[in-house]
Structure formats: structure tokens, C-alpha cells
Structure 1
């Protein structure tokens, strides 16, 4: 599963019950919408449903959440809860990548290398993969010195 090992910063909302998260999500809370999506994706306290996960991730992504945008990119790429649609995958990867989401930048770079859903463009690939590599180096330095 894509998200089972994903590390997410611990927040009070993350630790909240399903009912508390659902109430906040229904009121438009972006973070809660993402967590409800994760619950459905992983079957955490609810029956596993990629279709319902997509619904909640879309709500969060449309409000600008880069993690939800990235996840939608993956789900469209893999056909989880939606038909495979590389055009939609690229759309969501671009939105997340523009906000600095490192995994989206990497996936988008691969799409530019392969010409999947976009015209093959090695200079754009280099731009996205360089951004990802720079972030990885910074995180390594921070963990070493921190």
C-alpha cells in the first residue's frame, strides 16, 4: 500500500477519533479531510475503500493540500479507486510539486524522462529531480547536525 508507511507529523487531529475527524472534515477542515482519506485508503477504523479515499483526498487537494495532491497523482497513476488516467496524475503531481512536495517532484521528473502524460523534456526532468535532490541533501544535513 502506498500510504501505510507514510510518516505524518503527529497532531491532535491525527490522534482524534474517526467521528471527530469526520465532523471536522465535513466542516471543510483540510487536514481532517486528508486523514479521513487515509483511513479509507488503509481501512483504518472504516472498511477499506479506495473510492471513498479518492473522494476525501480530492476535497483536501482542491483546497491546496500538497500531500492530498500527491496521493491523488499516485492513485490516478495506479488506478486505485479511479480508472488509470495519466493526464489527471500529471495534473495532481504538478500541483503538489509546485508547492515543494519532494515525492511529487520526483514522480513528475520520471514522467518527463519517460514522456508519460507529458512531452519528454529532460530539462524539466532535471529541474524537478534537482529540487528533490536538494531537499534530500538539506534534510540529511539537518538530521546530522540537529
Structure 2
């Protein structure tokens, strides 16, 4: 695991504020140097910009690279995005790798940190047996964790049981 270099908090906030203003060109300009220096949140945000094509050309491969760098530093939101990219076939898992299994691994990393969307997604994988051994009890355990945090779909699922 790589350790992120310290960065001026206001520079990171400037980049995130630019995203909120939809000033994506400025966001890329501010965030990219920090991301290259190893700042995990900047890597996550840059990945999101490439994923959506905001301020840069949409590029799933580049988004994947930034998400993976942030995910390997333990950032749950990046781990969740990385899981989504594998789950939805947006990332090449490489030779002899199962994308559903990679999705499950990244969802688990984020879910165990309390990321509600990852908990729900992991629960669905256990429910369907996608990338993991099918286990309805494990599925309900993860979905319940998500519901306890207010995840709407998780709550609806549990109400229907």
C-alpha cells in the first residue's frame, strides 16, 4: 500500500469546489498534480472526471487507473467505483481473471469500511452467486448493514422479505 504525500488541504478543496461548480477544466488542472503525487482523494476525483468525461475525454481505462491507485491506498469510495467497473464490464480484468470476482473483492474492501453502496452491492453478489459462492444469509447480512445506514434499495429489499 502506498502512502499518500501530504498536500495543502485548501488545494484539494479548490479542486473539489471546482467540480461542484462544474468548472471541470479547473478541477483537472488542480487535481491532476496532486493525484500524480499520490493524493488518494485527488486520484478518486480525477478518476470520476475521466469516467464521466468532465473536463477531459471520457476514458474508462484512465478512470480505472486513477480509481485503482486510490483504492490501493484504502479509499472506500474508490474501491466501490473499481468494483463497479469490474461488475459492469467496464474494466479489462486481464488474462485468467474473473471480473465478477474482482468486483466482489473490491466491494468487500469498501464494504468492510462501512461503505453502504458497496455493502448493498456485495449483498447482491452473494444473493446471486456472482463472483462469490451464493449465500443468502451472507447476502442478507451485507444488505442489512447497508439498510442500517439508510440505503434505500437495501431497505426496500428487506421490507419485501
TM-score, normalised by the number of residues in structure 2:
0.75
Which residue is 1:110 aligned to? Answer: 124
Contact 2:46 2:63 in 1 (8 A): yes
Give structure 1 stretches of 5+ with no counterpart: 1-10, 138-146
Deviation, 1:117, is 1.1
* CA distance, structure 1, for counterparts of residue 86 and residue 101 of structure 2: 9
Which residue is 1:12 aligned to? Answer: 14
Residue 150 (structure 2) pairs with residue 136 (structure 1): yes
Which residue is 2:80 aligned to? Answer: 70
* CA distance, structure 2, for counterparts of residue 81 and residue 114 of structure 1: 21
Which is further off, 76-85 or 120-129?
76-85
* CA distance, structure 1, for counterparts of residue 55 and residue 47 of structure 2: 12
Deviation, 1:15, is 2.3
Give structure 2 stretches of 5+ with no counterpart: 1-12, 19-25, 152-161
Contact 2:71 2:78 in 1 (8 A): yes
Residue 109 (structure 2) pairs with residue 99 (structure 1): no
| Alignment: residue pair count | 128
Task: Detail structure 1 runs of 4+ shifted over 2 Å in the superposition.
Answer: 81-84
Deviation, 1:87, is 0.9
Which residue is 1:61 aligned to? Answer: 71
Post-superposition CA distance 1:78-123 (Å, at most 9, x none): 1114257101100100000000010111111111111111111112
SS class of match (1:136): coil
Which is further off, 17-26 or 47-56?
17-26
Which residue is 1:35 aligned to? Answer: 45
TM-score, normalised by the number of residues in structure 1:
0.82
Deviation, 1:58, is 0.3
Which is further off, 80-89 or 40-49?
80-89
